[in-house]
Amino acid sequence: MNSTIQQVKQRFGIIGNSPGLNRALDVALQVAPTDISVLITGESGVGKEIIPQIIHHYSARKHNEYIAVNCGAIPEGTIDSELFGHEKGAFTGAQGSRKGYFEVANGGTIFLDETGELPLQTQVRLLRVLETGEFIKVGSSKVIKTDVRIIAATNENLGLAIQNNKFREDLFYRLSTVPITLPPLRERREDIHLLFRKFASTFADKYRMPTIRLTDDAIPVLNGYRWPGNIRQLRNLTEQISVIEKERLITPEILLKYLPKDHEQNLPSVMGSQFDTNSSGNQQMDQDLILKIIVDLKKELAETKKAVAQLLKGNTNFEPINDDAHITNYPNDLIPTASPSITYPVSIDRTPTYDDDYHEPIQEHVEVEESLSLEAREKELIIKALAKHKGKRKHAAKELGISERTLYRKIKEYEITK
């Protein structure tokens, strides 16, 4: 490993040796001596805030101001004033002139965390700073020059935000001259136990108690968890166990008591379509509604098989399919696992033949494949529910087992007018 990267880890207390982490640190060190804008991306809790500190420390600006701004924590009505300052009387309550962060940090570095939360008006002002190094205070007409390096970070998909007209495309390209991505903890399996041991030691010193340790069979349990909250979640869990557990040797049984029951992450997703829940930007399909559709489809297929068999035998006295059946219990074998186009084998009984030895009738079976679209079935269920409840969405949503907000979204999606 690069000796400089190792020194950075020791200086900033970074734990781990995964290739993704080392790559991010290497890029940060390469761009540090320049004034290039950097965009740091990664999920919440991966430690994005450490990268701008490294870049500032190894840059020529390290002796000047470093200001970290959480854009998501500042109200929309005051963020322009916070970033660019304001003049006396610029708005109600502005009793005096105030310097903004860009004026205070002149010659230094500004870290804009949660950049995706910036209002569009503020994005225009920020773009001007990036292009010309100029800004105007709120309530002023005087142009002020500033020499500030901007490092931005976000856990949002800015590409999707651009498509939804929530983020300016030109600003995105100005910010992301050099992109740095920090991998999620689930892609750093080799680092999870190292981080756990570091946190355990830290909390043992903080609370003056013996350090907790994992048994050999508990380590795979820790590494196998998905960690949706990443390093922040692992740190909080380690602190909980350190404080609450009297036993210092942590077994799998003890560890499992503290791992959240993430049922949602274990649910299957419908792949390869607009219902793919693992692809950002694709519309999610509610699991309860999927299950209801599958149950209804299987019920109707069973009724259809029965009806066809009776018709072929010349018997027209059979029970019709009940379209209004309300099913709430979902058998385990009905959870969808593949494509939204599901094929079921349907067995149809034809004229019986007889075996010469046993003289017993033998039914001849023909396999017929029937393809059913979940999307079409979902739309049909929604229309039936609305018709049944005379257009009352609240009651229709309750019937379908989804929220009224989800129902409203799907009505728009399928362009249901009645």
Q: For 181, how many CA atoms within 13 A lie in the half-sphere containing its CB? A: 8
Query: Is CATH 1.10.8.60 what the domain over 188-264 is classified as, yes or no?
Result: yes
Would you say residue 159 has pLDDT above 80? yes
Q: Where are the extended beta strands (E) located within 101-207? A: 109-113, 134-136, 143-145, 149-154, 178-181
pLDDT band at 396 (very low <50, low <70, confident <90, very high): confident
Q: Where are the extended beta strands (E) located within 160-274? A: 178-181, 213-214, 249-250
Mean pLDDT, to the nearest integer, of 19-32? Answer: 96
Give the C-alpha distances (Å, rounded to integers) separating 268 from 168, 183, 229, 275, 287.
Answer: 35, 23, 20, 11, 9
Q: What would you measure as the largest C-alpha separation in the chain, in angstroms?
A: 107
Q: What is the percent of the chain with per-residue pLDDT over 90, rounded to a whole number?
A: 59
DSSP H or E stretch at residue 365 = strand 365-373
Give the C-alpha distances (Å, rounded to integers) separating 286 from 87, 107, 232, 247, 289.
Answer: 50, 51, 28, 41, 5
Domain spans, the chain: 3-181, 188-264, 287-413
Predicted TM-score of the model (pTM): 0.63
- 3-181 folds as Rossmann fold (3.40.50)
How many of the other CB atoms lie within 10 Å of CB of 221?
A: 17
Mean pLDDT, to the nearest integer, of 224-235? Answer: 96
Q: What is the pLDDT of residues 313-354, one digit of tens each?
A: 665 554 544 444 443 444 444 444 443 444 444 444 444 444
